Structure 1
Amino acid sequence: MPKSEPKSRYQADPIIDIFLDDLWSSRGLSDNTLAAYRTDLRHFDRYVQQANDTLTQASQQLIRDYLDTRFEKGFARTSSARLMSSLRRFYQFLLLKKQIQVDPIAQVKSPKLARKLPDSLSEQDVDSLLNEPNVEDPIECRDRAMLELLYATGLRVTELVSLTMEQLSLRQGLVRVVGKGGKERLVPLGELAVNEVEHYLQGARAELLNGKTSDVLFPSKRAQMMTRQTFWHRIKLYALRAGIATHISPHTLRHAFATHLLNHGADLRVVQLLLGHSDLSTTQIYTHVATARLNQLHSEHHPRG
């Protein structure tokens, strides 16, 4: 009986890695972002190869067929929207490198997504959350300083836990933040945050280090950089203790920072700079939150509201 031929194993088109190498060198994207691009492009590449085609020869109709297949399989719209973003960037790269003459995805529309407003906290909830840690305990003293700094600056949690001593200037009341893509920005701390961080540095940090050395501003008990997941759990603990019912996410205080600034009249472009958003449209979602709050205040307090 003749042996059946083994199924051919999938081999990714080398142009995917060429594209990813270019992204890494020119854009400085994170490993997670590059991994997401790789996953999206390889899944599409498999489909293209099964259709006996190549990425550089793929047609607009083939891309539409692939999206229809994903829809039939029940993929979320957010997943397909991310895929479309990956494909658009990929084919713009091929067009720039003259690997293709026409961009096959230019006329393909991305799936419409419902605009989800970020979870936020009221100013009263923020006060309750920030006052919850016991500053007599070294760990909670550290957490209190972290929460104050987070709310004062709107940092991403990853940016916060990775801060080093040299990035902080209490005398100037500034923190130098290294954000996405390695971009740096200076963010003011505010008096309350400066006081809390100063109090933490006077005693609690040395107790946490316990004789060890570290340049991490907010080290763990093992004198290492805390993970964002650990800090998220710490936030949820304090929210529970403070009786806060609002859903807490790693970005909750960042959202509160932006919303409260806008509620108090801050310019949208200033908030954009403070948050480290490269595109103003990313910041504009907060205007919806702020407008909703202002409408509520108007209806409650205006004599003809």
Structure 2
Amino acid sequence: MISAERSQQTIANYAYDFALFFDFLKEKEVDLESVTPRLLRRFFRHIENGYERTVWVTVKKRDPSTGEVKESQVPRKHFRENTRAGKERKRSSLRSLFRYLVKNDVLDKDPMQEYEDATLKARNRKRVPVFLTRGEALRLIEAVGSYHQKQKRRRFTWYEARDRAMILILLNTGMRVSELVGLNLNNIQSDGASARVIVLGKGGKERMLKLNPSAYAGLRRYMELRPDEGIPPEHQQALFLNKNRTRMSRKGVSEALQKYVREANLPPKAANISPHKLRHTLATLLLSNGENLRVVQEILGHSSIQTTQIYTHVIDSEKDDALDRLGEWV
């Protein structure tokens, strides 16, 4: 995967999925060569509704007598939900693993292929992506200001400007949350009243996207207030910082977004909006406005136009709903 220039996040995700699968095999006392389609079915059923994982985390403790800070590894158990996207990723991980093992003559046949042939109908049943309407997106942006007003702070904070800028950029560019938190200061190329952002996508592919006036204004306001002191050397080039003045994480972006989703009091279908669903929102709005599918593909950084085409199903679904509503009074 390194030689194929996969991102560090993708490699980490696959390693996590493999560890989960290997733990299952160890528990069942089955080696890799003995994996069958039936066993794979048992594994996916085992993690269907979530699973418990033991992870080792680094804990720092200060010695009260010497003041020396020591690090140690301690086990922590936690329950992980298995979302639809998580299930798809685990299938993709194992598909990649077994294909590799067969190609390199470690295995004679691919049990994952046989398993998927048997579950073809289930795999082809895709849900329509969840997205915000234009009005809901505007309410989400406005919620940043109203949320912080309720905190009764005396002044406009830099992290309020940061959150507004992040949401505007996600809605403007449709970039992935991993791409957002990976942005550095030099990824922003300004030219007077306009600016472009250089996005490093999957497989190390770069794309350049223009920021609309609202997103650029929000980013400029954040840059005016962004701290310039107390930032660790390895994080000084990070565009978006957290309150500890280190690079913003994907989890940090998600948690910030959820605050404003609640504040905006969005309808049930939009109440569980994630950063990735803001990407769905841009794609859907672009296609609703009649933009070319190839252009949308380039903006989103999809390697295949088939991935982009899923949003045309969203538009079709919206048309069907509109006609159904028309039938209520005609």
Distance 2:195 2:282 in 1: 17
Contact 1:167 1:175 in 2 (8 A): yes
SS of residue in 1 equivalent to 2:291? coil
Equivalent residues in 2 for 1:138-217, closer than 5 Å: 138-171=158-191, 173-201=195-223, 203-205=224-226, 208-210=227-229, 212=231, 214-217=236-239
Match of 1:7 in 2: none
> Where does residue 24 of structure 1 map in the other structure?
2
Q: What displacement does 1:180 show?
A: 2.6
Question: Structure 2: where are the runs of 5+ without partners?
Answer: 50-81, 146-154
Out of 35-44 and 281-290, give the one that drifted further. Answer: 35-44
Could you report, residue by residue, the CA deviation over 1:102-150 in whole angstroms, capped at 9, with x for unpaired residues?
A: 5455444163144222221110111121123339432212211111111
The 1-side partners of 2:88 and 2:169 are apart by 34
> Aligned to 2:297, which of 272, 280, 292?
272
Counterpart of 2:19 in structure 1: which amino acid? T
SS for the counterpart of 1:277 is: coil
1:151-209, Cα deviation, whole Å (9 max, x unpaired): 100011222122111011122621111123333222222222122212332x221xx34
Paired residue for 1:128?
139
Match of 1:231 in 2: 253
Do the aligned partners of residues 80 and 150 (structure 1) sit closer, same or farther apart at CA in structure 2, a change above 3 Å counting?
closer
**Counterpart Cα distance in 2 of 1:262 and 1:190:** 17
In structure 2, do the counterparts of structure 1 residues 70 and 237 end up closer, same or farther at CA, with 3 Å as the change threshold? closer
Query: TM-score, structure 1 length as denominator?
Result: 0.74
The 8 Å contact of residues 187 and 274 in structure 1, kept in 2 or not, is answered as: yes
Would the aligned equivalents of 2:24 and 2:43 in 1 still touch at CA under 8 Å? Answer: no
SS of residue matched to 1:219? coil
CA–CA separation in structure 2 for the residues paired with 1:230 and 1:266: 32
C-alpha distance in 2 between matches for 1:298 and 1:173: 40
**Does residue 37 of structure 2 align to residue 64 of structure 1?**
yes
- Residue 74 of structure 1, CA deviation: 7.5
* Counterpart amino acid of residue 240 in structure 1: R
Rounded Cα–Cα distance in structure 2 between residues aligned with 1:216 and 1:40: 32
Cα 1:243–1:64 shift into 2, 3 Å? closer
One-letter amino acid of the structure 2 residue matched with residue 149 of structure 1: I
Match of 1:38 in 2: 18
Label 1:177 to 1:64 Cα distance change in 2 as closer, same or farther (>3 A).
same
Counterpart check, 1:96 vs 2:137: no
One-letter amino acid of the counterpart of residue 126, structure 1: A
Q: TM-score under structure 2 normalisation?
A: 0.69
Distance 1:226-1:105 versus aligned 2 partners, 3 A rule: closer
Q: Does the 8 Å CA contact 1:47/1:66 hold for their aligned counterparts?
A: no
**Aligned match of 1:12:** none
Instruction: Indicate if the aligned counterparts of 1:209 and 1:219 stay in contact, CA closer than 8 A.
Output: no
Indicate conservation of the 8 Å contact 1:260/1:290, yes or no: no
- RMSD in angstroms over aligned alpha carbons? 3.3
Q: Higher strand fraction: Structure 1 or Structure 2?
A: 2
Aligned residues: 272
Counterpart among 272, 284, 287 of residue 259 in structure 1: 284
SS at match of 2:207: strand
